């Protein structure tokens, strides 16, 4: 694990991170854009009243969501810095991303999954209601999504009819999920679970050490990333666990230092970006085990690698 660069951040620590080989987005109450090469802050987007919980970027636009009600879902033009607010969620918006070039989709603590027309931000096109807060979601097909709720249940949902197609059982508080083809990896507080979405059956658990024994109940953050053959999971104790996609057993357990709250992985550059509660964002080269210390003072907080 090679430490590529440190970014010292002001605020309450890293909550959401996004980046590409040249740009990093870090969100706390504000969203700050950095040049990855120099560590120089390019610009700041202000307006959220609570901590930023999710970031998603598409073309020249940035989508962000945050805690609390009111202006908690916003679309930003990265060039003009104009902002559009989507009003409707009454409580924190845990996850928001682009559905396609014309729509966005968001899930909230108010128990709804909403689809919005970008051209009509005043109201959502549709709202699917659940009896419990919706923690996370992931698109499966053009008309279906997987939705995770705080009642320890996940659902396969038809977005066109707004109906729950099937329940996915046996999880402990789903906090993040990723869909790859017909497969879905759902992260709970006690580990990750691989499901086949064609049947919603459990394929395997992903909380095993190389010798087959279980991890001793690590508490995972709400961050999960999937590469072609690896699954990355971060714990609150500052470890990054890398799991083999095909076997569900860990390949390595990497110590990233102090408590981590957010991370992102860029497949093209093999760069791993980690943010923590100590107000530091670290950029790692995931290709080898050497560590090169280098730091650049900046400011900011939750992260993504674009």
DSSP 24-58: EEEESSSEEEEETTT--EEEEE---SS-EEEEEEE
CA–CA separation, 210 and 48 (whole Å): 43
- Taking residues 191-217, report their average pLDDT: 79
The residue-averaged pLDDT of 186-197 equals: 86
CB-CB contact of 107 with 113 (8 Å): yes
Pull the structure tokens for residue 42: 């390019």
Tokens linked to 80: 């003009």
Average of per-residue pLDDT across 81-104: 89
Tell which wins on pLDDT, 46 or 117.
Answer: 117
The reported pLDDT for the residue numbered 286 is 61
Find the Cα–Cα–Cα–Cα dihedral 263, 159, 179, 100, rounded to 10°: -70
Asked whether the beta carbons of 28 and 275 are under 8 A apart, the reply is no
Residue 127: pLDDT band (50, 70, 90) is confident
Which pLDDT score is estimated for 99? 93
- Per-residue pLDDT band for 242 (boundaries 50, 70, 90) equals confident
Q: Are 186 and 209 in contact (CB under 8 A)?
A: no
Q: Where would I find the beta strands (DSSP E) of 174-270?
A: 176-180, 183-188, 191-196, 201-205, 220-226, 230-235, 239-244, 250-255, 260-266
Helix (H) or strand (E) holding 2: strand 2-8
| Per-residue model confidence (pLDDT) at position 142 | 92
What is the Cα–Cα distance from 138 to 90, expressed in whole angstroms?
21
Please tell me whether residue 156 adopts helix, strand or coil conformation. strand
The pTM assigned to this predicted structure is 0.82
Highest-confidence segment of 25-29, 119-123, 177-181, 250-254: 177-181
Q: Locate all alpha helices (DSSP H) within 140-179, ordered by sequence.
A: none
What is the helix, strand, coil percentage profile of the chain, to 5? 0, 55, 45
Query: Which residue in this structure is represented by tokens 């999710």?
Result: 54
Whether residue 126 is predicted with pLDDT greater than 50 in this model: the reply is: yes
Does position 297 have pLDDT exceeding 50, yes or no? no
Q: How much is the pLDDT for 90?
A: 86
Per-residue CA distances from 109 to 92, 155, 223 (Å): 5, 16, 18
Range 266-278 burial, b when 16+ CB lie within 10 A, else e: beebebbbbbbbe
- Alpha-carbon distance of 248 to 230, in angstroms, equals 9
β-pairing verdict for 295-297 and 2-8: parallel
Q: How confident is the model at residue 300 (pLDDT cuts 50, 70, 90)?
A: very low
Lowest mean pLDDT: which of 2-6, 136-140, 256-260? 2-6
Residues 187 and 194: their CA atoms lie apart, in Å, by 9
Q: What is the pLDDT of residue 148?
A: 92
Q: Which of 64-68, 128-132, 252-256, 270-274 has the lowest mean pLDDT?
A: 270-274
What's 81's DSSP letter? -
């Amino acid at each position: 694990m090679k430490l590529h660069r440190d970014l010292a951040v002001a605020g309450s620590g890293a909550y959401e991170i996004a980046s590409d080989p040249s740009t990093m987005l870090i969100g706390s109450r504000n969203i700050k854009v950095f040049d990855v090469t120099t560590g120089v802050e390019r610009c700041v987007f202000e307006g959220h009243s609570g901590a930023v919980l999710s970031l998603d970027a598409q073309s020249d636009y940035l989508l962000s969501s945050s805690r609390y009600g009111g202006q908690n879902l916003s679309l930003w033009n990265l060039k003009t810095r104009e902002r559009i607010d989507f009003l409707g969620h009454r409580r924190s918006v845990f996850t928001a991303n682009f559905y396609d070039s014309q729509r966005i989709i968001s899930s909230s603590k108010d128990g709804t999954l909403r689809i919005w027309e970008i051209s009509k931000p005043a109201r959502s096109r549709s709202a699917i209601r659940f009896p419990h807060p919706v923690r996370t979601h992931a698109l499966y097909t053009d008309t279906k999504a997987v939705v995770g709720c705080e009642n320890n249940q996940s659902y396969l949902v038809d977005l066109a009819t707004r109906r729950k197609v099937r329940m996915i059982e046996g999880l402990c508080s789903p906090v993040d999920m990723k869909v790859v083809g017909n497969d879905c990896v759902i992260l709970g507080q006690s580990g990750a679970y691989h499901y086949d979405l064609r049947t919603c059956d459990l394929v395997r658990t992903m909380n095993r050490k190389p010798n087959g024994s279980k991890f001793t109940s690590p508490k995972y953050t709400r961050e999960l990333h999937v590469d072609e053959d690896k699954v990355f999971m971060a714990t609150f104790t500052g470890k990054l666990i890398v799991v083999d996609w095909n076997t569900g057993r860990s390949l390595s357990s990497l110590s990233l230092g102090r408590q981590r709250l957010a991370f992102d992985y860029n497949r093209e550059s093999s760069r791993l970006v980690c943010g923590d509660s100590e107000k530091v964002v670290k950029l790692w080269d995931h290709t080898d085990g050497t560590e090169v210390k280098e730091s650049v003072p900046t400011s900011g907080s939750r992260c993504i690698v674009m």
